[in-house]
Amino acid sequence: MVRAGDFRNGVTFVIDGEPCVVIDFQHVKPGKGAAFVRTKYKSLLSGATREKAFNPSEKFPKAQIETTEMQFIYKDGDIYYFMDMETFEQIPVMREVIDTAVDYLKESEMATLKFYSEKCIGIEVPIFVELEVTYAEPGIKGDTASNVTKLCRTETGAEFQVPLFVKEGDRIKVDTRTDEYVTRV
C-alpha cells in the first residue's frame, strides 16, 4: 500500500481498479482546514490525465508494473510483434499501446515492454536512437546566417527538423524524450 502523503513523481498506484502513475504532486497545508495532497496522475491503461486532491492518510494499492526487455521483430498492419530473447515467446502489441515509440522502432532492436496483470500497457525505447535519413529536403546554398533547419524523413517514417547539411543516407541521432535531432553520426 502507498499513502497519498508519500506520493512522488513516478510512483504507481491503483485507483478505481486502474493503474496510474503520479506526474506531479504538491503537499498543501492551508491556514484553515486539513492538509491535502494535490496530485496530477496519468492512467497507464487509457493515458488519460486527471487532477485530484487526496487526504495524506489515504492508502492505495501499489501498481505492480513488470518490465521485460524484448526484441522488435516485425510489424503486420497495426500489430507489432516482440520476442522474449530467453523464452522466444512472441507477443503481439497494438499500435495504440506503443504510441509515439513507433517512430523509433526498427526491426531487431531491443525495447522495454511494461506489463500490468500480464497485459502490455506501454513500451520504452532507448533515450537516444540512431536512424537513417531516407528523405531530406534540399538545403539552400548560402542560407547559413541563422539557425536554419529543414525537414527529413527517417527509415521508420518519422519526420524531424535537421540542419541544412544533413542529406539522404546520413545517420542521425535523435532524443526520444523530446523528438529532436541531436547530431549526425
CATH number at residue 29: 2.30.30.30
Residue 175 cell numbers, joined: 532524443
Q: Is the pLDDT of residue 145 over 90?
A: no
Residue 71, classified by CB atoms within 10 Å of its CB into exposed (0-12), middle (13-18) or buried (19+), is: middle
pLDDT-based confidence at residue 142 (cuts at 50, 70, 90):
low
Does one domain contain both 135 and 180? Answer: yes
CB crowding 87-100: b at 16 or more within 10 Å, else e: eeeeeebeeebbee
Q: Is the pLDDT of residue 75 over 70?
A: yes
- Model confidence, pTM: 0.74
Mean pLDDT of 38-63: 92
Q: CA 184 to CA 163: how far, in whole Å? A: 9
Domain span at 177: 129-184
Mean pLDDT of 98-113: 87
Does one domain contain both 38 and 75? Answer: no
Backbone dihedral angles phi then psi of residue 4, each to the nearest 5 degrees? -60, -30
Q: Is the pLDDT of residue 143 over 90?
A: no
Q: How confident is the model at residue 170, as a pLDDT?
A: 92
Residue 147 cell numbers, joined: 539557425
pLDDT-based confidence at residue 71 (cuts at 50, 70, 90):
very high
Q: Is the pLDDT of residue 46 over 90?
A: no
